[in-house]
């Protein structure tokens, strides 16, 4: 039974390797097998030597922190519209509940989707837009590298299958977003609602997620035994997990794992904020998700229809 998050090394296929064709099929298969083993055992892994520049990661954490430090009335000028297909903008405290059975999550967020961006806090955080776009582009390229290895690990005949299923990332026809999360220090008066968490237990909706954590920790992952174990941050690594649509695609060969961020118990951590940045990857909206093993375990479904269903249960 997994009691820790496996580590997968992308030294031979990270973004520092400018020529994607240099890697041999055998080396790609080795990486892919490790990914599949990790996602089979616990649904998560840490990817090291990925090649996304650390200074860019530091920059997006920095501008996100600057944004979340703004007064609430200022942030509300950039709120993500309700009842809209726009995946862009500020998400206020308790506006969503990733576990619908709990009160709204004790966090704020800002979503960025290149094809839906309509507004930015250019006056307050002038560099935010440029840094988010650069980071999005790097994550997109890394996602394709991971998909290549993943496809090899699944022994699919078409090496480009997952790339082609996500070819519109960053354009109309795909809902992949960056989300920067801010979990503020807890109120001094202890006014946390019964059952409330920083982020309620849930599995992600799409095909895969790339998560960048600060050093505070707090993320917990549910293993096959039903026990939550800490996803202790690994400096410089990306925490990668699969989502519900990938589970459906693989006919449950791989499972989307529930995870959560609890209200911390220690007084020291209660007084500290926590920050994370996620790249939520979704297939193209017109992609019909059918079981890769040819079975009929799940009925075919449009990726866009599945995402709309999940969102309808999340936002309060």
Could you tell me the pLDDT band of residue 266, with boundaries at 50, 70 and 90? Answer: low
Q: 104-137 pLDDT, tens per residue? A: 777 899 999 998 788 899 999 999 999 999 999 9
- From residue 119, alpha-carbon distances to 76, 114, 135, 260 in Å are 12, 11, 18, 30
Instruction: State the chain's mean pLDDT as an integer.
Output: 89
Could you tell me the pLDDT band of residue 86, with boundaries at 50, 70 and 90? Answer: low
For the four alpha carbons of 53, 111, 65 and 212, in that order, the dihedral sign comes to negative
Of 308 and 138, the one with more pLDDT: 138
Query: Percent of the chain, pLDDT > 90?
Result: 67
Q: 198-224 pLDDT, tens per residue? A: 777 888 989 999 999 998 888 999 998
Out of 157-161, 185-189, 247-251, 254-258, least confident range: 185-189
Q: 32-80 pLDDT, tens per residue? A: 999 999 999 999 999 999 999 999 999 999 999 999 999 999 999 999 8
Q: How far apart are CA 243 and CA 247, in angstroms?
A: 7
Q: How far apart are CA 170 and CA 143, in angstroms?
A: 12
Q: Among 59, 17, 50, which Cα is nearest to 210's? A: 50
Task: Provide the pLDDT for residue 189.
Answer: 61
Q: How many beta carbons lie within 10 A of that of residue 116, not counting itself?
A: 18
CA angle 204, 107, 278 (to 5 degrees): 40
Tell the burial category of 272 from Cβ atoms under 10 Å away from its Cβ (0-12, 13-18, 19+). Answer: middle
Which fold would CATH assign to domain 7-312?
A: Jelly Rolls (2.60.120)
Task: Provide the pLDDT for residue 107.
Answer: 87
Residue ranges per domain, the chain? 7-312
CB-based contact 240:146 (threshold 8 Å): yes
Q: 137-196 pLDDT, tens per residue? A: 999 999 999 999 999 999 998 989 999 999 999 998 999 999 999 988 877 665 677 666
């Amino acid at each position: 039974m997994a009691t820790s998050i496996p580590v997968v090394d992308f030294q031979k296929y990270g973004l520092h390797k400018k020529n994607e064709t240099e890697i041999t099929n055998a080396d790609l298969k080795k990486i892919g097998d490790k990914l599949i083993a990790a996602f089979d055992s616990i649904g998560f892994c840490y990817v090291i030597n990925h090649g996304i520049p650390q200074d860019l990661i530091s920059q997006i954490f920095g501008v996100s922190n600057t944004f979340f430090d703004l007064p609430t009335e200022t942030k509300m000028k950039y709120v993500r519209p309700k009842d809209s297909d726009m995946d862009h903008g500020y998400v206020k405290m308790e506006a969503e509940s990733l576990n619908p059975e709990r009160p709204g999550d004790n966090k704020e967020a800002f979503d960025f989707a290149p094809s839906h961006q309509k507004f930015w806090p250019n006056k307050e955080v002038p560099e935010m837009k440029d840094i988010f776009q650069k980071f999005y582009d790097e994550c997109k390229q890394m996602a394709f590298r991971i998909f290549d290895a993943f496809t090899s690990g699944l022994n699919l005949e078409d090496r480009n299958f997952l790339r082609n299923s996500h070819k519109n990332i960053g354009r109309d026809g795909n809902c992949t977003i960056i989300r920067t999360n801010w979990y503020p220090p807890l109120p001094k008066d202890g006014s946390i609602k019964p059952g409330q968490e920083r982020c309620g237990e849930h599995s992600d909706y799409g095909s895969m997620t790339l998560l960048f954590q600060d050093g505070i920790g707090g993320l917990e992952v549910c293993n096959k035994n039903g026990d939550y174990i800490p996803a202790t941050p690994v400096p410089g690594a990306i925490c990668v997990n699969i989502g519900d649509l990938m589970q459906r695609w693989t006919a449950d060969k791989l499972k989307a794992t529930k995870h959560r961020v609890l209200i911390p118990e220690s007084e020291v951590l209660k007084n500290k904020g926590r920050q994370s940045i996620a790249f939520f990857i979704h297939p193209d909206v017109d992609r019909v998700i059918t079981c890769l093993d040819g079975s009929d375990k799940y009925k075919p479904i449009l990726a866009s229809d599945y995402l709309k269903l999940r969102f309808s249960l999340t936002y309060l």
